[in-house]
Structures are given as C-alpha cells and as structure tokens.
Amino acid sequence: GAGVSQSPSNKVTEKGKDVELRCDPISGHTALYWYRQSLGQGLEFLIYFQGNSAPDKSGLPSDRFSAERTGGSVSTLTIQRTQQEDSAVYLCASSPTRDRRTQYFGPGTRLLVL
C-alpha cells in the first residue's frame, strides 16, 4: 500500500515569506506527527495529532509555526515570516491508534530559506 507522502519534496523561499508543507498519512492512521531535522542530526518533535485534534503542540518553536489536520487525514504545517534558521528537513510520520510507537515516516520536505 501507499506510504506517507509529503509535498513539496523541496522548497526554496525568501526570508519573510510564508510556506505551507503538506503531509498525506497512511490511510486509516489516526496519529500524525511532525518533526524537524537539521543537517545530519536527530529529529526534533514539533506537534502530534490524534484525529483532527492536536493534544501536544509543545515542540512548535515559535508562534510563527502552526499546523492543522482535516478529515482525520491530510495535515498542513505552516511557517509564517520564514527565517534562515527555519531551514531544515520537515518530516511527517503516521501511526495506527493501537500502536502509536510504530511510526512510518514520509520522505520529508527540504526547506531552504535564503
């Protein structure tokens, strides 16, 4: 079956512009996570969705970052007024409700802010 997909795969933007990153989880997976990965580093948790609700937003680095999920499926991570330090790979993962520790990752969106 289809895995987690993310779009765009690459995004180059200018400082101060807004960007939207999209995640399509595996069908039927109710849990969805966003992570950020700096070059060659480990992953930093951003936000967790259970269905359309976000019970844990503790990893969002500033109020310029927001995320939503609709229909219990697609999720969008929005970064407003991008800064150069926002440059990173943004990864999305989904997992089934009964086994939330088993997360399936998408290929990521590589964001470069000039």
Partner 1 sequence: TQLLEQSPQFLSIQEGENLTVYCNSSSVFSSLQWYRQEPGEGPVLLVTVVTGGEVKKLKRLTFQFGDARKDSSLHITAAQPGDTGLYLCAGEGAGGTSYGKLTFGQGTILTVHP
Task: Write out the residues near partner 1 by the rule CB under 8 A.
Answer: 4, 31, 33, 35, 40-45, 48, 56, 91, 93, 95, 100-108
For the bound state, the minimum distance from the C-beta of residue 105 to partner 1, rounded and expressed in Å, comes to: 3
For the bound state, the minimum distance from the C-beta of residue 40 to partner 1, rounded and expressed in Å, comes to: 6
For the bound state, the minimum distance from the C-beta of residue 15 to partner 1, rounded and expressed in Å, comes to: 25
Q: Which is nearer to partner 1, 30 or 80 (CB)?
A: 30
Q: Which is nearer to partner 1, 82 or 103 (CB)?
A: 103
**Among 46, 88, 93, 53, which Cα is nearest to 70's?**
53
41-66: buried (b, 16+ CB within 10 Å) or exposed (e) per residue?
eebeebbbbeeeebeeeeebeeeebe
Q: Which is nearer to partner 1, 73 or 94 (CB)?
A: 94
- Indicate the burial class of 76 (C-beta count within 10 angstroms; 0-12, 13-18, 19 or more): middle
For the bound state, the minimum distance from the C-beta of residue 81 to partner 1, rounded and expressed in Å, comes to: 27
